Amino acid sequence: MNDASPLRVAIADDALLLREGIAKVLESGGLDVVASVGTGDELVRLVRDGGIDAAVLDIRMPPTHRDEGIVALEQIRASGSEIGVLLLSMYATPEYALRVMQTGSGTGYLLKERVSEPETLVRAIETVAGGGSVVDPEVVEQLVKRSRADDPISRLTERERSVLELMAQGYSNGGIAQTLFLGLKTVETHVRSILQKLDLEESPEHHRRVLAVLTLLGER
């Protein structure tokens, strides 16, 4: 992110008051809210017109209030756009999170309650805008508890699981090092070990991190 050019963000949610609240949080965090709409279709058109670096949208919007936000995300990716997209949900639903992450890098899934945590919300948008991935900590916790003995995740040490959970939340290696009070080289070693234990083949590093998160979500 260039300090002279703040990220241009669009918001899509059918609740006007929530859109306004999100806009205030983002603007106070130094982001530029350039558009605010009430449906996924409107957001898809905005993305097609250009001028947006990232989008924040609700999963459930008109007309059915089911998965319109995810459908909009899938349409955005199908169009070839690589803007950062952060989905917000009232519920910690692993199945939704998995569907979001399957669209590739630059995507995230957070609970709406994170709107009251400005730093978390802004960091998540900056992460997806930079091509990273973010999954809400509550979803990650559910998935870790759900893991079985035959799951690939069971191969990881306790420390490696902690590192992977932070990777899923969008932390860089430097951020993981600060959070866990570890040296950067130690974190890099853990990340390499995680990728090896999850049998992720050599490919661009960022893509492998997304695959690792998908493994945590339960499917590759």
pLDDT tens track of the chain, all 220 residues?
445 689 999 999 999 999 999 999 999 999 999 999 999 999 999 999 999 999 999 999 988 898 999 999 999 999 999 999 999 999 888 888 888 988 988 999 999 998 889 999 999 999 999 998 899 988 887 766 665 555 778 888 989 989 998 988 888 899 999 999 999 999 999 999 998 888 886 655 557 777 787 777 765 4
CB 118 within 8 A of CB 25: yes
Cα-based distances in Å from 175 to 138, 148, 220:
19, 28, 25
- Are the beta carbons of 122 and 53 closer than 8 angstroms? no
Interacting residues of 203 by C-beta distance below 8 A, sequence separation 6+: none
Which two three-digit tokens encode residue 32?
């530029």
Closest among 56, 4, 48 to 30, alpha carbons compared: 4
Q: What top-level class would CATH report for the domain 147-217?
A: mainly alpha
Strands 54-58, 8-12: pairing is parallel
CA dist., res. 69 & res. 79, Å (int): 15
Give the Cα separation of 69 and 44 in Å (integer): 10
- Among all chains, which residue has been given the structure tokens 């070990």? 193
End-to-end CA distance of the chain: 30
Amino acid 199: pLDDT: 81
pLDDT for 95: 82
CATH topology assigned to domain 8-136: Rossmann fold (3.40.50)
- Tokens matching residue 148: 């079985």
Distance (Å, whole) CA 46 – CA 36: 10
pTM of the full structure: 0.74
Could you tell me the residue ranges of all domains in the chain?
A: 8-136, 147-217
Query: Please, what sign has the CA dihedral across residues 112, 117, 120, 124?
Result: positive
The pLDDT score that the predictor gives to residue 182 is: 92
Distance CA 169, CA 116 (A): 17
Residue 1: predicted pLDDT: 47
